[in-house]
């Protein structure tokens, strides 16, 4: 009987952990290199919170900036950061690197 209860408790906790995992935000990587964003077009699921990990591979700092996403954050050279965006309505949300705006351009596309 004790084993039976332990088995039930264990499967319940596994269910709980897996539902937590599926509720966690989607994570997407965005790399800055040579003052460009890779990928320049970032596809994200609409209607969901998204974790955007921004990895600056340049030795110089860059500022991720987007009026449409209402986000701005400085990433030091050779460092990374995380920002949360969304849930977004379907559409396009431009962003740029404020320190190198001529080259560092991209957009989030929510579908
Ligand atoms: Cu700014």
pLDDT at 4: 63
pLDDT at 24: 73
What DSSP string describes 63-77? EEEETTTTEEEEE-T
Collapsing DSSP to helix, strand or coil, 59 comes out as: coil
Q: Which range has the worst mean pLDDT, 4-8, 54-58, 67-71, 93-97? A: 4-8
Could you tell me which of 90, 98, 67, 86 has the C-alpha nearest to residue 27? 86
pLDDT at 25: 82
**Strands 105-110 and 91-97: what pairing?**
antiparallel
Cα of 83 to ligand 1 centre, how many Å?
14
Residue 68 has which token pair? Answer: 């449409």
Can you name the residues that pair with 79 across neighbouring β-strands? none
pLDDT at 9: 58
Cα of 89 to ligand 1 centre, how many Å?
23
Cβ atoms of 110 and 51 within 8 Å: the answer is: no
Q: Walk across the sheet containing 50-56 and list its strands.
A: 36-38, 26-33, 50-56, 80-85
pLDDT, averaged across the chain: 89
Cα of 106 to ligand 1 centre, how many Å?
15
pLDDT tens for residues 37-84? 999 999 999 999 999 999 999 999 999 999 999 999 999 999 999 999
25-110 has which fold? Answer: Immunoglobulin-like (2.60.40)
Cα of 44 to ligand 1 centre, how many Å?
23
pLDDT at 7: 62
pLDDT at 38: 98
């Amino acid at each position: 009987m004790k084993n039976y209860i332990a088995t039930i408790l264990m499967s319940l906790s596994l269910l709980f952990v897996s539902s937590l995992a599926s509720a966690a935000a989607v994570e997407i990587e965005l790399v800055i290199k040579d003052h460009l964003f890779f990928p320049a077009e970032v596809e994200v699921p609409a209607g969901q919170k998204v974790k955007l990990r921004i990895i600056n591979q340049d030795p110089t700092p860059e500022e991720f900036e987007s009026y449409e996403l209402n986000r701005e954050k400085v990433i030091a050279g050779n460092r990374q950061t995380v920002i949360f965006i969304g849930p977004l309505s379907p559409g396009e949300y431009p962003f740029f690197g404020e320190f190198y705006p001529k080259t560092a351009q991209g957009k989030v596309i929510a579908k």
